Amino acid sequence: MARPGVLYVQVANAAARLAAEGQNPTIDSIRAALGGTGSKSTIAPLLKRWKSAHPATVIQADLGLPAELVMALKEVYLKVQAQATLQFEQAEQIHQASNAALHEQLQQTVVEQEALLNIQQQQALALVSADTRLQELDETVQRQEIALAGLRSEKLGLEQRLADRVAELASLTQQLQHARVQFEHYQTSVAQQRADERRTAEQCQHRLEYELTELRQRLLAQQTRLGELQAQEQQLSQDNVHLQSSLLTAQEALIQSRSAHAQVVYQLAELNQTHQTLEQRHEHSERRLVEAQTNLAVIERELGLLAQRLTQTETQLTELTTEKQLLLQDNAVLISQLAEFRSKQSSLLSGS
């Protein structure tokens, strides 16, 4: 609890007196200046209030330097610190922008890689489907070839049957001619029988010719179907070549995307290294700032010395100016005496 009688005015007056005497106002020195009255818990906030209201006086009392010089040094320090902070923030913004751009590029590369993988999977599925379809067509072609071989065998059999029937017809014709020669006298009696046999033979011949024509048409249809199957086989072969080419292209694109991904990872590592380098530069800048502050203090001392030397130089310059004026006066006197001497010399020469 605060002791009765200790007020802010008393603390402020005591702190001002101590600061005017060049002493740093502290809680103990204020309490001693007040005659040992007041507790430290009471004096401390009042003294803090006075110091916040009189920063220049506090700085002058702490450092023993003029407040203007301290404020000037503080302003220089704040400017240097603000410039270093601005440079660091700019470097940090550039680094963040580069990281964001590389991150976006990495995401885009991942998306493109996934798209290429999907395309590759689709093309692989299409290739498998094409291979399956090609196998089915191969099996269909084999079945058609087997059927065609059967038709050819059947054709050979029909042709053989036709040849047998033709041979049989020729034999019958010969027999008919032989019977005609041998049995001319039976011409009237067997004319009807011969006509019936001729009709039968002609009908058999027409039937065989019709069967042969039908077999030829079926053979032509089978050949047409075989040509279509061969054309489909060629088309499937071309599609297979195209799919294989697309697969190679997709694989090359995948390799390129992996290479780009590795390059992006390498650039990200370089950016991390750059970030570490910037942090090291920031630490170096802080060390340089401390050195600059030290150099500034040295420069301030040198400025004081230079001011003293300037004062001495101005004093010497004043003395030299005075001496110059005296020399000018002496010179004027000498010039007057020289003119008078020349006038006298001229008078003497003219008198002689």
Residues 120, 212 share a domain: yes
Instruction: Specify if 69 maps to a domain.
Output: yes
Q: Looking at the domain assignment, is residue 191 inside a domain?
A: yes
Tally of domains within the chain: 2
Q: Examine the domain organization and report whether 180 and 260 are in the same domain.
A: yes
Residue 352 domain flag: no
Q: How confident is the model at residue 2 (pLDDT cuts 50, 70, 90)?
A: very low
In-domain check, residue 349: no
pLDDT surpassing 80 at residue 183: no
What mean pLDDT, rounded, does the chain reach?
Answer: 81
Tell me the C-alpha distance between 162 and 212, whole Å. 8
Q: Are residues 40 and 88 in the same domain?
A: no
* Whether 208 and 327 share a structural domain: yes
**Model pLDDT for residues 27-81, shown as the tens digit of each residue:** 999 999 888 888 888 999 999 999 888 876 666 655 555 555 656 666 776 787 7
3-state secondary structure of 23: coil
160 and 276 belong to one structural domain: yes
% of the chain surpassing 70 pLDDT:
88
Residue 1 has pLDDT above 50, yes or no: no
Domain boundary among 45, 63, 81: 63
* 124 and 15 both lie in a single domain: no
The pLDDT assigned to 3 comes to 47
Tokens of 317: 């310059």
Statement to judge: residues 312 and 172 lie in one domain: yes
Residue 348 in any domain: the answer is: no
Q: At which of 63, 78, 104 does a domain end?
A: 63
Q: Do 217 and 298 lie in a common domain?
A: yes
Q: Which long-range contacts (CB under 8 A, 24 or more apart) does 294-302 make?
A: 296/73, 296/76, 296/77, 297/73, 300/69, 300/73
Mean pLDDT value of segment 283-295: 80
pLDDT digits (tens, 9 = 90+) for 255-280: 886 787 788 678 878 877 887 887 88
296 domain-assigned: yes
Q: Which domain holds residue 12?
A: 1-63
- Pick the last residue of a domain from 35, 63, 91: 63
Do the Cβ atoms of 61 and 21 come closer than 8 Å? Answer: no
Looking at the structure, do residues 189 and 318 belong to the same domain, yes or no? yes
* Confidence (pTM): 0.26
Do residue 41 and residue 81 come from a single domain? Answer: no
Same domain, 52 and 73: no
* 161, 98: one domain: yes
Calculate mean pLDDT across residues 201-214.
81
